[in-house]
Amino acid sequence: MSRTRWRLGLSTTALLTASALLPSPAHAEAVADYTITVDPSAQGPAIDDTMYGVFYEDINRAADGGLYAELVQNRSFEYSTDDNASYTPLTAWAAEGAAEAVNDGGRLNERNRTYLSVAAGSTVTNAGYNTGIRVEEGRKYDFSVWSRAESGTTLTVALRDAAGTLAKVREVAAKGKWRKYTATFTATRTSNRGRLAVTTTAPAALDMVSLFPRDTYRHQPNGLRKDLAEKIEALRPGFLRFPGGCLVNTGSMADYSADSGWQRKRSYQWKDTVGPVEERATNANFWGYNQSYGLGYYEYFRFAEDIGAMPLPVVPALVTGCGQNRAVDDDALLKRHVQDTLDLIEFANGPRTSEWGAKRAEMGHPEPFHLTHLEVGNEENLPKEFFARFERFRAAVEAEYPDITVVSNSGPDDSGATFDTAWQLNRDAGVAMVDEHYYNGPQWFLQNNDRYDSYDRNGPEVFLGEYASQGNAWKNALAEAAFMTGLERNADVVKLASYAPLLANEDSVQWRPDLVWFNNHASWNSANYEVQKLFMNNTGDRVVPSKASGTPAVSGPVTGAVGLSTWATSAAYDDVRVTSADGKTLLSDDFSGDASRWTHSGGGSWTVQDGQ
């Protein structure tokens, strides 16, 4: 046995974060000795290559205006007040002359309902995302538009900013019924403030007005923004969990109805997101904007394959979560979702001769995507209702595809009644893998390094699908790294782990912290990203057991605060009491006074009324 003694240049308190715990200056100077004992001849658990991966959700505008390389915002005029109170079908567009969004029988197709009717001599201009459309000198940009116009109509297409033209103007001769037209620009100047303008010589209907950089990730059509995709690829993720989160387990689970028109605010349902892009109905995104589904299931599978990651899709379980807690009681609908899940497996893995394998081949990928895992549900707060439905999915998948692992979950928290009930149900039913989520402070991560040491080795395996230590500061990254050593030590039970969320457009942030940040022309990594990269690029084969002695103990008083909050609702609170484990009251308030101890942060409002 070799024994190594290292002198670590850390004060014993350097890992603590709460200011109330800061040592006196004299104490801060102290340097302690620690001993790490490594036994290279002993064998700990094997670590799977897939252990560390990424969780991608279309939150913080991670898709449109983010990873999806489309430069035109609201290209199909489908933005709606259903998505966001400030939206109209003309959001991101400006008109000189007459232009009107129309939703009538002259539409492009049933799932792309609104189009733009532009009068002769008028110009419509798109503002892109963030400060505008980003173009780089010398690079090519592919324009396309669907148009319906009389023969002899000319569409003039220009790329410009306030300082002038950004590329040679293009002309498109439109004729007759709906048809797709294309043109290519080469940028003569770099700009982050570009605008795309279309002028028509005669009345014209326009839809799917699109501009893509030629230089997408791997030069793929309908492709991904290169810098963002490459940042994800550089992590070398073992898996890609997609498409969400709350995105999946919220909204309506109902059937599409052509009679009532497109039903918006649907949960993310994979069949809505495949096929020709102009036939993918856009939808309200749970995070308060519109999602085009241009980046859909085919593109996710393709991306997973390109970066060498195992695809891990999440389908809704017909129990909503994320503040909408409701179980959908509709057996026919449940059966349809179960069938959709079987079809998803066929879409990913089926032969070209199968119905859904043929669709995949038609989209450009005759070979299978090798799906091995899929998750049903996300963070349901109603564990019993969730589990009853989960079992229907699992039974159907196992009957037809016994090699597919169906992943369950344990609710939105690291512990508590929902967590315990969900785990019990999963354990009793012999579920293969359970997804855990938690967003806690850095101190929690330091204190819970041993969380999985005591997990049952005969129970379900753990997929830590979402975690973050509530900050992008260096101390957060360090706390996460420390915690990850605990995941790795328990690699026999923790099989998969991913930080969350992955991407954030700096101008549309619904959730922070995030791993990678961007705007329309730049992207930058967080300290947390560097930690993830370090672990993912250096995944070991096997744990070598080690012991540390005299490790810094979390000592001194633990201080903090208690928060009361709501999400999209109102609530009254009274008689708040926090007690210590030995029964001492640490805080109590019956709101009979002035509530001066409480401070307000975030949105919404509150007031003390009638002693509540």
Question: What's the one-letter identity of residue 540?
Answer: G
CB of 215 to ligand AHR, least distance (A): 30
511 binds ligand AHR (CB under 6 A): yes
Q: What are the CA-CA distances from residue 290 to residues 75, 107, 270 (Å)?
A: 11, 20, 16
Geometric angle at alpha carbon 440, from 436 and 445, rounded to 5° = 85
| CB of 170 or CB of 326, closer to ligand AHR | 326
434 binds ligand AHR (CB under 6 A): no
435 binds ligand AHR (CB under 6 A): no
| CB of 140 or CB of 512, closer to ligand AHR | 512
500 binds ligand AHR (CB under 6 A): yes
Q: Between residue 299 and residue 358, which ones bind ligand AHR under the rule CB under 6 A? A: 322
CB of 336 to ligand AHR, least distance (A): 24
Contact (CB, 8 A) for 427 and 460: yes
412 binds ligand AHR (CB under 6 A): yes
Residue 278 falls in which region: left (phi positive, over 0), alpha (psi -120 to 50) or beta: alpha
514 binds ligand AHR (CB under 6 A): no
244 binds ligand AHR (CB under 6 A): yes
Kindly state the tokens that stand for 581.
């484990």
- Sort 148 into a burial class: Cβ within 10 Å, 0-12 / 13-18 / 19+: buried
Contact (CB, 8 A) for 47 and 541: yes
Contact (CB, 8 A) for 161 and 193: yes
Using CB under 6 A, pick the residue from 54, 59, 145, 198 that binds ligand AHR: 59
CB of 64 to ligand AHR, least distance (A): 17
Only one of the segments 239-247, 256-264, 270-278, 300-308 lies at the binding site for ligand AHR (rule: CB under 6 A); that segment is 239-247
d(CA 282, CA 265): 10
β-bridge mates for residue 200, sequence order: 155
CB of 247 to ligand AHR, least distance (A): 6
* Cis geometry, peptide bond prior to residue 501 (ω within 30 degrees of 0): yes
Chain position whose Cβ is nearest to ligand AHR: 245
CB of 575 to ligand AHR, least distance (A): 28
Only one of the segments 193-201, 203-211, 243-251, 357-365 lies at the binding site for ligand AHR (rule: CB under 6 A); that segment is 243-251
**Binding track over 125-154 against ligand AHR, x by CB under 6 A:** ------------------------------
Contact (CB, 8 A) for 463 and 451: no
| CB of 245 or CB of 311, closer to ligand AHR | 245
Only one of the segments 103-111, 222-230, 242-250, 335-343 lies at the binding site for ligand AHR (rule: CB under 6 A); that segment is 242-250
- 362 labelled catalytic: no
Choice among 70, 379, 436, 488 that is catalytic: 379
Residue 3 falls in which region: left (phi positive, over 0), alpha (psi -120 to 50) or beta: beta
| CB of 229 or CB of 246, closer to ligand AHR | 246
Only one of the segments 61-69, 99-107, 244-252, 546-554 lies at the binding site for ligand AHR (rule: CB under 6 A); that segment is 244-252
| CB of 385 or CB of 436, closer to ligand AHR | 436
d(CA 111, CA 6): 64
Residues 6+ apart with CB under 8 A from 304: 239, 240, 242, 310, 311, 369
CB of 250 to ligand AHR, least distance (A): 9
| CB of 422 or CB of 500, closer to ligand AHR | 500
Sign of CA dihedral 589, 591, 592, 596: positive
Q: What are the CA-CA distances from residue 348 to residues 243, 357, 368, 469 (Å)?
A: 15, 7, 6, 34
CB of 474 to ligand AHR, least distance (A): 22
β-bridge mates for residue 143, sequence order: 183, 211
d(CA 213, CA 135): 8
Q: Between residue 457 and residue 476, which ones bind ligand AHR under the rule CB under 6 A? A: 466
> Could you tell me whether strands 405-409 and 433-439 are parallel, antiparallel, or unpaired per DSSP bridges?
parallel
Q: Between residue 351 and residue 390, which ones bind ligand AHR under the rule CB under 6 A? A: 378-379
Using CB under 6 A, pick the residue from 245, 294, 313, 411 that binds ligand AHR: 245
246 binds ligand AHR (CB under 6 A): yes
Contact (CB, 8 A) for 256 and 70: no
| CB of 272 or CB of 466, closer to ligand AHR | 466
DSSP 167: S
| CB of 498 or CB of 520, closer to ligand AHR | 498
Total residues in contact with ligand AHR, by rule CB under 6 A: 14
d(CA 300, CA 294): 11
H or E segment to which residue 199 belongs: strand 191-200
DSSP 38: E
Contact (CB, 8 A) for 418 and 402: no
| CB of 244 or CB of 442, closer to ligand AHR | 244
504 binds ligand AHR (CB under 6 A): no
Instruction: Give the residues lining the site for ligand AHR (CB under 6 A).
Output: 57, 59, 244-246, 322, 378-379, 412, 437, 466, 500-501, 511
Which residues are part of the catalytic machinery?
Answer: 379
